[in-house]
Amino acid sequence: MKKLPLYKKLPVFGVVAFLFLGFAITITVAAPLMDKELYQPSPQAKPLDALASKGREIYAREGCWYCHTQTVRTIANDKKWGPRASQPGDFAYSNPALLGSERTGPDLTYVGDRWPDENWQIKHLQDPRALNPDSVMPSFAHLPQADLQALAHYLVSLKDNTAPDLQKRADQSTEADIPDVYKKAVNPFAGDTAAIAAGDAIFHKSCWSCHGATAEGNGPAASALKPPPANLRKSALTRSEQFLFWIVSEGSKSTAMPAWKKAGLTEEQRWQVVSYIKSLGGQQ
């Protein structure tokens, strides 16, 4: 049988390639789009209120998504950004989803858990390096106050909506309010000078912007915060290790105190910070 010249085979190759491409698109794009579960809101998904919606528009307009992502992946490196990996249903009310493309800055999926106070967020937007000297984030002090408030309100809304609320404000709580899981906690580093030194280093990296270098509640962000940050030298005398570990871990509702359990500190590091705070009790 006489073989066809290559140029006469090209239409056949084109048809085969077209059919293969169509099959691939059907399998990878069209079929998943017909899966109704993709459109069902997850427990994490919550509609934004009017102010947060305005803040989201400002977030997109100002290009915040150029440097920040809003998706936590399933890989081990992403565990520091949140308690759970993002799921399709998390974005049911986000159109378009502001996933971002790179992390010049941290992922913001759960930033409202790490920094839950809108006043702190506004201060950070106006002068990032006042709170983090190593920050490369540009200042947004040029934005009108109304825009800053809307943007801060949106950022605070980005949190773990599936987590139970374990507490009220720290300054309104007593030892009796400590949840059972924290009442039974025991500091593995009590009196350990190495742990105190490690806690000192963590404190002056992560906590000083609110509590101040001397831990007396006079950090550079303190003037913008209501209620003001706690004087930890006094807390060292009046609060138990279990109370301090609870607040460091879970944060303080309606204040700027973040939940460091969600904000990147391991259990060991949180106990080291508690050991450091308790060591301040004799340094009045």
Assign domain 50-157 to its CATH architecture. Orthogonal Bundle (1.10)
Determine the pLDDT at residue 162. 84
CA distance 232 to 250: 17
In this chain, the answer to whether the domains covering 50-157 and 170-282 adopt an identical fold is: yes
The CATH topology of domain 170-282 is: Cytochrome Bc1 Complex; Chain D, domain 2 (1.10.760)
146 DSSP 8-state letter: H
Pick from 97, 142, 152: nearest CA to 120: 152
Low-confidence ranges of the chain (pLDDT < 70): 1-10, 12, 29-39, 164-171, 282-284
pLDDT at 177: 86
C-beta separation of 236 from 278 below 8 A: yes
Q: How far apart are CA 53 and CA 123, in angstroms?
A: 20
pLDDT at 215: 92
Q: Give the separation between CA 161 and CA 110, rounded to whole angstroms.
A: 9
Cα 61 from Cα 54, distance rounded (Å): 11
Q: What are the residue boundaries of the structural domains of the chain, listed by start?
A: 50-157, 170-282
Query: Phi and psi at residue 85, in whole multiples of 5°?
Result: -70, 150
The tokens for 184 are: 């039974």
What string of DSSP letters covers 227-267?
A: SPPP-HHHHHHHS-HHHHHHHHHH--TTSS---TTTTT--H
Token digits of residue 272 = 């080291």
This prediction's pTM? 0.70
Residue in the block written with tokens 């400590």: 178
pLDDT of residue 284: 40
Helix H, strand E, coil C: the string for 173-217 is: CCHHHCCHHHHCCCCCCCCCHHHHHHHHHHHHHHCHHHHCCCCCC
Count CB-CB contacts under 10 A for residue 36.
6
- Residue 83 is predicted with a pLDDT of 81
Give the 3-state secondary structure of residue 117: coil
By C-alpha distance, which of 104, 105, 140, 103 is closest to 124?
Answer: 140
Instruction: Please give the Cα distance from 199 to 189 (Å, whole number).
Output: 10
- Identity of residue 167: Q
DSSP H or E run through 276: helix 267-279
Residue 247 sits at the vertex; the CA angle it makes with 241 and 252, to the nearest 5 degrees, is 155
Cα angle 192, 193, 195; round to 5: 70
Distance of CA 92 to the CA centre of its chain: 19
